Each structure stands twice: as structure tokens, then as C-alpha cells.
Structure 1
Amino acid sequence: MVCSLGIEGSANKIGIGIIRDGEELANVRRTYITPPGEGFMPRETAKHHREQIVNLVKQAISEAKINPTEIDVICYTKGPGMAQPLLVGAIVARTLSLVWNKPLLGVNHCIGHIEMGRFITKAQNPIVLYVSGGNTQVIAYSNKRYRIFGETIDIAVGNCLDRFARIIKISNDPSPGYNIEQLAKNSQNYIKLPYSVKGMDVSFSGILSYIEELADPSKRRQKRKKDENGAEPEYSKEDLCYSLQETIFAMLVEITERAMAHCESTEVLIVGGVGCNLRLQEMMGIMCKERGGKVFATDERYCIDNGLMIAHAGAEMHRAGIRMPWDESFITQRYRTDEVLVTWRDD
């Protein structure tokens, strides 16, 4: 039996999770929300995390109804992510490790998402589509590593959605992507956008630039075709949100299907914050059904960055005998999924 406490703080979420022998005991989280049209900066995000993290640890311990002496390992997000927010989690994890005399483990953020998704959905050996604000990857497990089949060559899909939300100045509460999803439900007017799939990789920066010019008259150029009266058509926020979602999700479904064909897989697992999007799940489900497969996804409790995913992945690592020397308890902004040796899986 392993009882693990996990700290996640790689971006604008700060979360604490506690899991014991596969049983969720606590999963608490706070989000740093900025005004419409603004993103979150590292220093301000780290300040938010510092202000919240101690009370979140107390809340998690209280909800779990355990004593710190019952915890076997303290886990934290080692990377990838934003340096200053990551440091908040790492410093608190190191402090708790010293005060409670517990071993410390740094967890890869991407691996945390994957293992949480597998744990919740019970997917066996799926093709993983990992989509978030900082990452976009198509992944398959093979020979003790999560292999990256394809990824974004510029910005992540979540970053594309977040930046577009800032362009059209919609609320960041509860998240930009969620609000884009709600607006998209109110339109069926598809505007043709660039479709950029390059082999198994995707590109979102050009799509973002193109739709920005559609949304902002001052950057319009020649993107809008004039009607028979010589007037330029007007696109609503709903039209733009709908068109952006349909285009970028179609790109993601395409490269995921290609990975399924290569691996002869019948399962797809969607993880990461963008994985909460019901339209993405629906489109992936249609593709999987046509191939005789099945799509797996989770809700916002486990899809969006959370401490429980770090606690669970850390518990799996600890159970497999992985230990981290104290002098390796640092953070790294660039920590790729395929760098991690997955010793806890025996398939």
C-alpha cells in the first residue's frame, strides 16, 4: 500500500492530491484567472500559487482524513511548465519532505496526465492524444517508454485557443477554452481556415494569425471575400469559435487515426486540459467508431491540471522502486514525455 501526496503547479492551476492504494482521498485546486484579453504571466502566477498552496495542503490533509505520518511519498511536478510556478510546488514539496521525513519524487507533468487517464478510464494500451495549453502530442507506449508519434511544431492547441480568446476578449473564467466551446455551440457557419498537418505533426500558429485577421478589422487585409454588393461579410464570435474548433480538432483526429493504424490500436485516450472539450471527444468518437474502436476521456476533475495526477503517477513510480536523490530535486521547463523510463508498466 502506498499513500502519496502530489503537488501540481506548472501553469495557472495549483493543486494538491492525495491517493492511497488506488483510492482518491483528496483533489483540491485553485486557478489563477486574469481579466479578459490578458494571459497569465509567470511572476504573477507564482505569487498566486504561493498565496494558495499552504491552505490547499491543509485542506487536502483535512479532506483525506489522514495524518501526515501515513503519507509514504511526497511528489511534485518536475516539468515541463513555467519555471516560477513550478518552483513554488518544488520548494513546498522539498519542505514537506524534510519536515515529515518522507521521500521525494519529481514527476513528469505529461506522464501524470497519461497515468491519471489510464487509471480513471481503465484504458488498456491506448493511443494517447495529449492536448493542453503547453503541449500537443500523439503518444503510444512501447518498450518502457511513451513514444511521441507526432506533435505540434510551434504552439500547443490550448495555447492557440487561449490566444484566440484574448483576441476576441472573452472571459478567462473558468477557462478560455471552455468559453470558446460554449460560443461554438451557437453557430454552424463554417469559415474555411488553413489546415496544417505535416506528416504526423501539426501547426497552429498560421491558423491563429489567419483567424486573428478575420476577427480584427485593423488586420483584415484581403482575407474576407466581398459579396455581390461589394461589402465584406461580418463574422460573429460564435462563427469564429466554431470554425476554429472544427479545423484544429479535425487535424488532431487525423494524426491520431494515423497513429492508430500504425499501431493497430482500437483505443484512444484523450488527456490534458483541452481533452475536456466535448466536441473534440465527439469527433474522436466518430472516427473511432468507424474503425471499430473506442475513445476514452475524463471530465474536468481529472483532465485539467490537478494534484491527484501527480500523486497517482508518483505512487506508481514509488511502488516500482524508483527513488530520487535529493540533489536531483530540481525543476526543468523542458522535460519531454519520452525521456521517462516507464518501469512501472510490465506490458
Structure 2
Amino acid sequence: MVIALGFEGSANKLGIGVIKDGKILSNCRRTYITPPGEGFLPKETAQHHKENVLIVLKEALDQSQIKPEDIDVICYTKGPGMGAPLATVAVVARTVAQIWNKPLLGVNHCIGHIEMGRLITGANNPTVLYVSGGNTQIIAYARKRYRIFGETIDIAVGNCLDRFARVLKISNDPSPGYNIEQLAKKGSKFVPLPYCVKGMDVSFSGILSYMEEKTESLLKEGHTPEDLCFSLQETIFAMLVETTERALAHCNSQEVLIVGGVGCNLRLQEMMGVMCKERDAELFATDERFCIDNGIMIAHAGAEMFTAGLRMKWEDSFITQRYRTDDVETVWRSD
């Protein structure tokens, strides 16, 4: 029975959660939201986390009804992510671990998403599509590691959506991707866009540049913002479904798991579901509580690591913006 406290702060979501032997006791979160047309910068995001982290920590402990002395391990996001926010939250995790005299574990953000998805959905050994503001990867498990079969060669799919939202001055509340999804539901005219799949990898920067350059003229030609959101979604999601299908076939897998913030998108889930049905595979996805960055995924992955006997030296409790999914040996998995 391991009780783990998890800290997540790799981007604009600050999350803290408590898990006890696979049971979620609390999952608290605060989001740094910027005005329409603006992205979030590392310095301001770190300041947001600094101002809110103790409030969210108290919320998480109160909700879980767990006392500090009951906690077995403190877990924090080691990377990847934005440097300043990562460092801000890691400092708090280190301080709490010292004050409460608890072991500390640094968790790979991507692994946190995957293990949380497996816990919530019950997926056994899926081909994983990991899609968020900072990451786009097609992943499958083999020989004690989560292997990357394909990924973006430039910007992440969530970053593409976020930056297009700025072009249209779409609100960042609750998130630009969510608001694009709602507008896309009302779109009817499809605009042909660059479709860029290179083997198992995808590229979104060219599509974004095209949209940034052409949006004004497309709107003047009679296309609506809804049409443009619809066209962008359909194109980039088709690219993701294509590459995921290829990985599914290569791995001879019968399960697809979508994780990461963009994984909340119901249209992406629908398109992936059609592909899975055609291949007699099963689709697994979660809702915004677990798709979007959260502290409980870090707590759960950390608890798995701790139970498997992993321990971290104090001098290794740093953060790194570049922490590959396949850098981590998954000693907690027996298969």
C-alpha cells in the first residue's frame, strides 16, 4: 500500500494529487490563462505556479484526508517541459520531501501520461498516441522501454492549435484547443491544407505557416473561422490517425490509447475510433481530468517506480527540459 504525492508543473497547468495503491484520493489543478492572442511565457508561468503551489498542495491534502506522515514518497515532474515552471515546482517538491523526511522521485512527464491512461482505462499493452501542447509521439512498449515509433519533427500538435487560436484571437479560457474544437463543430466548408506525413513522423509547422499567411484572405473569400478550425482539425487529426494505424499494424497490437491534453478532443477520438473499428482494435481515451496535465499522473507513475524498488539520489533531483520517453527503463512492468 503505497501513498504517493505528485507535483506537476511542466507547462501552464499546476497539478498536485494524492494516490493510494491505485486509488485517486485527490487531483487538484490550477491553470495559467493568458489573454486572447497571447501564449504563456516561462517567467510568467513560473510566477503563477509559485503563487498557487502551496494553496493547491493544501487543497490536495485536505481532499485526500491524508497527513504528511502517511505519505510514502514525494514525486515531481523531472521533465520534459518549460524550464522555469519545472524548476519552480521541483523546488517545492524537494523542500516538502526534506521537511517531511520523505524519499523523492523524479518522473518523466510522458511516462506519467501513459501510466495514468493505462490505470484509468484498463488498457493492457496499447499503442499510444501522446498528443499535447509540447509533445506528439506514437509510442509502443517493447523490451522494458516505451519506444517511440513516430513523432513530430518540429512543433507539437497542441502548439499548432494554440498558435492558430492566436491568429483568430480565440479565447484561451479554458484552453485554445477546446475552443477550436467547439468552433470546428459548426464548420461546413473544408479548405484543403498541406498534409505532411514523412514515414512515421509528422510535421505541423508548414500547416501553421500556411494558415498564418492565408487566414486573412480565406476569411475575405467567404470562409468562416469555424470552417478554418474544422479544416485544420480534420487535416492534422488525419495525419495522426494514419501514423498511429501504421504503428498499430507494425506492433500487431489490438489497443490504441490516446493520452495528453489534445487527447480530450472528441473529434480526434471519433476519427481514431473509426480506424480502430476497421482493424478490430479497441480505442481507449480519458476525459479532461486525466488527459490534461495533472498531479495524479505523476503520483501514480512515481508510486509504480517506488513499488518496483526505484530510488533517487538527492544529487539527481534536478529537472531537464529534454527527457525522452525512451530514456526511462520501465522496471515496474513485468511483461
TM-score past 0.5 threshold: yes
Q: Which deviations, in whole Å up to 9, do the C-alpha atoms of 1:28-52 show, x marking residues without a partner?
A: 0000000000000000000000000
Amino acid at match of 1:45: T
Displacement of 1:234: 2.2
2:291 to 300, 303, 306: 303
Does 1:317 pair with 2:329?
Answer: no
Q: Report what 1:228 is aligned to.
A: none
Q: CA RMSD in A?
A: 1.0
Q: Report what 1:134 is aligned to.
A: 134
Amino acid at match of 2:252: E
Amino acid at match of 1:258: R
Amino acid at match of 1:306: N
Q: Report what 1:238 is aligned to.
A: 226
1:187–1:242 CA contact under 8 A, matched in 2: yes
Displacement of 1:173: 0.1
2:235 to 221, 236, 247: 247
Amino acid at match of 1:312: H
Does 1:88 pair with 2:76?
Answer: no
Does 1:178 pair with 2:178?
Answer: yes
Worse overlay, 67-76 or 233-242: 233-242
Q: Report what 2:24 is aligned to.
A: 24
Runs of 4+ in 1 over 3 A off after TM superposition: none
Q: Which deviations, in whole Å up to 9, do the C-alpha atoms of 1:171-196 show, x marking residues without a partner?
A: 00000000000000001211000000
The DSSP-based 3-state class of the residue aligned with 1:106 is: strand
In the superposition, the TM-score normalised over structure 1's length comes to 0.96
Matches within 5 A, 1:134-153: 134-153=134-153
Q: Matched residues, percent identical?
A: 73
Q: Report what 1:287 is aligned to.
A: 275
Amino acid at match of 1:241: C
Displacement of 1:305: 0.1
Unaligned runs of at least 5 residues, structure 2: none
Q: Distance in 2 between matches of 1:233 and 1:85?
A: 42
Displacement of 1:232: 6.4
Does 1:103 pair with 2:103?
Answer: yes
Displacement of 1:214: 2.2
Does 1:338 pair with 2:332?
Answer: no
Q: Distance in 2 between matches of 1:182 and 1:82?
A: 28
Q: Report what 2:45 is aligned to.
A: 45
Amino acid at match of 1:122: G
The DSSP-based 3-state class of the residue aligned with 2:147 is: strand
Matches within 5 A, 1:53-68: 53-68=53-68
Q: Distance in 2 between matches of 1:30 and 1:159?
A: 20
Does 1:69 pair with 2:69?
Answer: yes
Displacement of 1:213: 1.9
Q: Report what 1:272 is aligned to.
A: 260
The DSSP-based 3-state class of the residue aligned with 1:4 is: strand
Q: Distance in 2 between matches of 1:310 and 1:122?
A: 18
1:107–1:314 CA contact under 8 A, matched in 2: yes
In the superposition, the TM-score normalised over structure 2's length comes to 0.99
Q: Distance in 1 between matches of 2:189 and 2:250?
A: 34
Amino acid at match of 1:198: K
Q: Distance in 2 between matches of 1:234 and 1:84?
A: 43
Query: Between Structure 1 and Structure 2, whose CA radius of gyration is higher?
Result: 1
The DSSP-based 3-state class of the residue aligned with 2:94 is: helix
Q: Distance in 1 between matches of 2:222 and 2:168?
A: 14
Q: Distance in 2 between matches of 1:135 and 1:216?
A: 28
Displacement of 1:66: 1.2
Amino acid at match of 1:9: G
Q: Report what 2:199 is aligned to.
A: 199
Q: Distance in 2 between matches of 1:263 and 1:43?
A: 41
Q: Report what 1:220 is aligned to.
A: none
